[in-house]
Structure 1
């Protein structure tokens, strides 16, 4: 190659490199005409664009207020999760192999993140609702359900209860100012960008470890208990026998537990179908929560349940076993409060009260300790008398001042007139 030829080749290479660099810079700094820098979802939209997940429309718009379809949600999740190719395919009547989103939809279906309807259709063009979005993000990013009763309109009987609570607990969605989640509203492109961005950041912030963290342990205590409870509650409504629900129960609990001690919690009579028979854990792990992982497939958790009108309060010991790559409840032991009780401190009571009132919608809540008095109760088993401290607090919030009493023995809270 002569000198002139070498100069020509290097000139061409430099020009090509300059175009590559320019293109990369443009992709990272491109602004959408309809998403200004003061748009509430600007950061999320720009992040997804920088990652190459979204590109907008040819006219340089993003169209943030348009509804996002199920096929586009599948595509974005596929890009974010980098899922492996599906080895088995599910037949959707409306997603043939030549469908442009076939691969993404199959990957997410194989991973158990997405599913179609009972009629065999996926409905790729349909908008995704907020509760459907909560489900796919909860499963896709393994969000932790460390809160209960987060939204007024996603009640405990709602199929998406765990998913909405997981989004709230993980900081992915705080819902609306009125305390509602509005589960049936369609999701806009801007809002989905925000939800996906927040989910990605939650995953990135987690410690890189194979060990179970407190968040995951707390999630299992809430989620598996709820799943078992709901199955038994639904069965009581229809007065089904225990054998009718064992296969469903085994999705959340081991065969040994389903065939053993769990039977004792099931009463087919619908005396009060909505009463919890398993421990209901809410803010208790903020002050009393221990967990150990003796091996990769076993998790032991010790916490408490406060007296709540249905439960008298007690110590709770769970064991979870990992089977088929899923944590399942393997045992549950409950010991009622008595001469052995929680002995919660003033600071623990303060933490619980503030967290509890936040769940009621209070803001700027501050619990101020007032005084301590001695109370006497009887042990439910031995009838032995025991004394415990009862704390009085003033709680100030944007709703005014409230005076409450808090039992150190069982966490029971009562208002003072």
Structure 2
């Protein structure tokens, strides 16, 4: 009788769980789901997850790929994939996830790792569906994706709370969106979550072993941390907050010296109606000029450039980041406007920049051909001393026609 009860209970649990977590599965015994044929766009990802015992289907042999995935199932699956340690706290963190909740352990593990969070009401909402932007945040933090792209999607603007996460997914090839949009508020299906998680795992597995700093991570820090600092100050200005009110938030992203002695000076002079960036915005600049050194495990020096964008003068960027309590923070930065000392771009470097610019606007077929160059004269923005530089002329041939591009070798301005 006890054996029969165990079978019944086990069957009921199997039906209740959208994603069944296995502890040991014979990969050879895994079969395709009846509703996920080999022609299904997400077949490879779903099969990959099933073969490794991360996901399961229903007793009728279906996977139900179009069903929405809930927050608790995202936590359970990520817990299995990441192999997180047991939570150190013995106290329940969310009102709606008590210690006897079947997903308590997984949710607490991810919460302690800083990957998931609840709402301001202290609830986790475990049964709620996951939106695409929430998924972006979870995968970005779980797999340390690299934000090496800015403004990847039209509908995730710089003031959007998920901006860095959506751009990190795009940069890493995990999510490309649809016709320039990310559709952040749409709910995620089981099939799509399996696909996004599969791609994130491939990104992780393709990285070199060890903790050595890579260009991708250095580029990510040079984008992500300045952005987070900028947004904190921008929101503070918009809300009319004194600097003292945002110092604690800024201290998450910058060292005490930068917070106390550098950012405070900018904040006091910033225009509330016409907020100007205090820090550079890197787009494709690191493709041509980006150097980093790591004198020790907790220090990173970055040297790069920022192009002139028609509004601000291009210049040389120097960053120092320090790791404190396992978190990288901005420790110092300098910005030197291009002038008498300028970029002196080569023709090949200019071609690379122009091609990347066109592709950032979804041009697929781009061929950049050098035509000629002329000499131009400008004044140094700091000293007013005149200087001469090359202005290159290119033809950009695309699927939509040919365009003429003028490119300043001095500061990267394109016209």
TM-score (norm 1): 0.91
Shift, 1:363, TM fit: 1.4
The two structures, once aligned, show a CA RMSD in angstroms of 1.2
The reply on whether 1:61 has 2:68 as its aligned counterpart is: no
Farther-moved stretch of structure 1 (286-295 vs 358-367): 358-367
Q: Could you list the per-position Cα deviations for residues 87-117 of structure 1 after superposition, in whole angstroms to 9, with x for gaps in the alignment? A: 0144211111111111100100010000111
Distance 1:125 1:44, change over 3 A: same
Partner of 2:39: 38
Shift, 1:262, TM fit: 2.1
SS of 1:311's partner is coil
Farther-moved stretch of structure 1 (253-262 vs 68-77): 253-262
Question: For the residues of structure 1 that align with 2:43 and 2:337, how far apart are their CA atoms?
Answer: 52
Partner of 2:146: 144
SS of 1:413's partner is coil
Q: Is the 8 A contact 2:290 2:303 kept in 1?
A: yes
Q: Is the 8 A contact 1:242 1:268 kept in 2?
A: no
Shift, 1:25, TM fit: 5.0
For 2:108, which of 106, 109, 123 is the aligned residue? 106
Alignment of 1:79-98 (within 5 A): 79-88=80-89, 89-98=91-100
Q: Is the 8 A contact 1:307 1:313 kept in 2?
A: yes
Alignment of 1:15-414 (within 5 A): 24-28=26-30, 30-88=31-89, 89-176=91-178, 178-266=179-267, 267-273=269-275, 275-414=276-415
Q: Is the 8 A contact 1:239 1:269 kept in 2?
A: no
Q: Could you list the per-position Cα deviations for residues 141-166 of structure 1 after superposition, in whole angstroms to 9, with x for gaps in the alignment? A: 00000000000000000000000000
Shift, 1:288, TM fit: 0.3
Q: Could you list the per-position Cα deviations for residues 360-387 of structure 1 after superposition, in whole angstroms to 9, with x for gaps in the alignment? A: 1211112111111111111122222111
Partner of 1:7: none
Question: For the residues of structure 1 that align with 2:39 and 2:398, how far apart are their CA atoms?
Answer: 31
Question: For the residues of structure 2 that align with 1:83 and 1:149, how far apart are their CA atoms?
Answer: 32
SS of 1:260's partner is helix
TM-score (norm 2): 0.92
Larger Rg: 1
Q: Is the 8 A contact 2:304 2:316 kept in 1?
A: yes
Distance 1:144 1:56, change over 3 A: same
Question: For the residues of structure 1 that align with 2:28 and 2:214, how far apart are their CA atoms?
Answer: 40
Shift, 1:399, TM fit: 2.4
Question: For the residues of structure 2 that align with 1:295 and 1:38, how far apart are their CA atoms?
Answer: 50
Which runs of 5 or more residues in structure 1 are unaligned?
Answer: 1-22
Q: Is the 8 A contact 2:93 2:108 kept in 1?
A: no
SS of 2:107's partner is helix
Question: For the residues of structure 1 that align with 2:271 and 2:241, how far apart are their CA atoms?
Answer: 9
Which runs of 5 or more residues in structure 2 are unaligned?
Answer: 1-24
Q: Give 4+ residue runs of structure 1 displaced > 4 Å after superposition.
A: none
Question: For the residues of structure 1 that align with 2:401 and 2:278, how far apart are their CA atoms?
Answer: 35
Q: How many positions carry a matched residue from both structures? A: 389
